[in-house]
Structure 1
């Protein structure tokens, strides 16, 4: 960016010098055009060097912070998810590196990631609602009871939950689960890998990276309802995202503005950092104990993370 600015400033200075030469000829300001160019070039070179130095320093400090946190928190989550199975569900446009880091954090804490479910953008496309509603009704099983006030996407979340999770550990993927997963994958609303053998009890939902320009917060209403449905059919859900997702135009912003959703669904808005990944683990532990909280660095109602007492008690 600074290199481009240097070229622009140089070109403007040249035209300025030419203009000054035309007006003044060989008068008293002769030669000042080249001096202006040289002076500006020197200033821009200095600015470029300063910016590069600042960038190098910022990257070094970021690396130090992440390495320090990773080392200091190493072992704090060990065994916290022992004997727990966790499904990872990614929203459209979720960051793959962050998703991998979250899955690794779950397994380092002793948990087992049973499957990764990738939700297609078509699922939340308003133009596809006429596909989602009848499919939900078609895939409902005898052991699913929809709350009387539930909407289409809460029900869709409950349907997926019946396919991949259960409120209790040790539930296998049965014929009803297979029917649901076949119906959802066959309609191209989602993809999953691997096909799970056992149903998990907990879910990490990875929020998508907010697009530019930022959409209206209401864009994520259906996604939040879906997460609620997943929570109602499992032992707990944590929605994890980057800080941007907790700002206007992000899923966590919408979630945290929904007082009913925040009673049951947890969120972490720094899941792209090692500290945030540890927080996701603690939030899963808290969910398994029947509690919910909103954690991170952007308008996080419950602070940076569940307290050590809560994590230990659960």
Structure 2
């Protein structure tokens, strides 16, 4: 992308120079036209060099910031998730590298990732709603208590939570969780690794994708937000991690944060692509384990940069 910008600047400079030459060649300064063009070209080259240097400096500062957070503050998350089992659920088209980085951060903080669930885009396709409703009916088990006003996708989230998670630590897979996982994976609406869940998690980390282009209407995320609420209701807590784009119009976090019911129980972090944001995800998971929720990050995050428990108090 940077090289492309350089080419554009160069091309503009060339056409400017050609234009100047034509004008000057037809006027009284015909004899000095070449000198004017050469002078302008030199100025353009200097400006281009300055722009390149500014970009290089900005990249160096960004790298310094990320390296500082990753290396100097790395120990701040140590032990924050000791004894906690965490399931990772990736939304359709979520970034794999960011998901891996988040898993590494969870594990470095003492947590154990029990399973990774990959949601297929078909899950939230309007044409699949009847299939989802049918699965909810088929897979419901005795200890799932659907709220009276729950939606189809809230119930679907509760069903998945029953398969991979529990409200308390120490719950292992049983016949009902195996039934749920088998039924959901058989539908081809999601996949689970490992396919045989041994330990059920108490916490769930949902990884959001960047919004597509063109950005969809925020209402297109209503079903995913309901699904995430269901995950929370069937577990000990949920944190949704995304990039700044996901907290802007057309993104999942934007819709989530606009839902007052969801934000009472679900946490979100909109800078999970940065080392600092990945640490905040850990702090948010720990906060969820304590029964609290918050919205953190850089874009309309009403609770600030991180949970208050880890922020420096003002004197």
On whether the aligned pair clears a TM of 0.5, the verdict is yes
In the TM superposition, structure 1's runs of 4+ consecutive aligned residues that sit over 3 Å from their partners are: 15-21, 31-37
Does the 8 Å CA contact 1:73/1:278 hold for their aligned counterparts?
no
Q: For residue 84 of structure 1, report the CA deviation from its aligned partner.
A: 0.6
Equivalent in the alignment of 1:187: 187
1:129 maps to what in 2?
A: 129
Check conservation: 2:17, 2:41, Cα contact below 8 A.
no
> What is aligned with 1:51?
51
Q: Identify if the C-alpha distance between structure 1 residues 20 and 76 changes in structure 2 by more than 3 Å, giving closer, same or farther.
A: closer
1:147-170 CA distances to partner (integer Å, 9 max, x unpaired)?
110001101100100110000111
1:37–1:140 CA distance, 2 compared to 1 (3 A): farther
Q: What is aligned with 1:93?
A: 93
8 Å contact 1:13–1:33 — kept in the other structure? no
Work out the CA distance in 2 between the residues paired with 1:34 and 1:159: 76
Residue of structure 1 in register with 2:232 after alignment:
231
Q: Distance in 2 between matches of 1:236 and 1:5?
A: 50
Alignment of 1:222-261 (within 5 A): 222-261=223-262
Write the distance in 2 (CA, Å) between the matches of 1:32 and 1:189.
Answer: 71
Paired residues for 1:99-114 under 5 Å: 99-114=99-114
Report the Cα distance in structure 1 between the residues aligned to 2:146 and 2:164, rounded to whole angstroms.
Answer: 17
TM-score, normalising length from structure 2? 0.92
Confirm or deny: 8 A CA contact 1:202 1:284 kept in the other structure.
Answer: yes
Does 1:174 pair with 2:178?
no
Deviation at 1:310, TM superposition (A): 9.1
Give secondary structure in 2 for the equivalent of 1:292: coil
Alpha-carbon distance, 1:47 to partner: 2.0
Given the alignment of the two structures, is residue 10 of structure 1 paired with residue 11 of structure 2, yes or no?
no
Query: 1:199, 1:264 → 2: CA distance?
Result: 20
Contact 2:269 2:277 (C-alpha < 8 Å) held by counterparts: yes
1:160 matched residue in structure 2: 160
1:272 matched to 2:276? The reply is no
Question: Offset at 1:34?
Answer: 3.4
Cα 1:200–1:10 shift into 2, 3 Å: same
Q: What residue number does 1:201 align with?
A: 202
For residues 37 and 194 of structure 2, what CA distance do their matches in structure 1 show? Answer: 62
Deviation of the 1:55 alpha carbon:
1.2
* Structure 2: gaps (5+ residues): none
TM-score by length of 1: 0.92
Larger mean CA deviation between 113-122 and 69-78 belongs to: 69-78
Contact kept? 1:17, 1:32, Cα under 8 Å: no
Correspondences of 1:274-289 after superposition (within 5 Å) = 274-289=275-290
Runs of 5+ in structure 1 lacking a partner? none
Contact 1:66 1:274 in 2 (8 A): yes
Residues 249-298 of structure 1: per-residue CA shift (max 9 Å, x gap): 11111111000000000011111111111111111111111111111111
Q: How many residues align?
A: 307
Q: Tell me how large the CA RMSD over aligned residues is.
A: 1.9
For residues 94-125 of structure 1, give each alpha carbon's deviation from its aligned partner in whole angstroms, at most 9, with x where no partner exists: 11111111101110110000111111111111
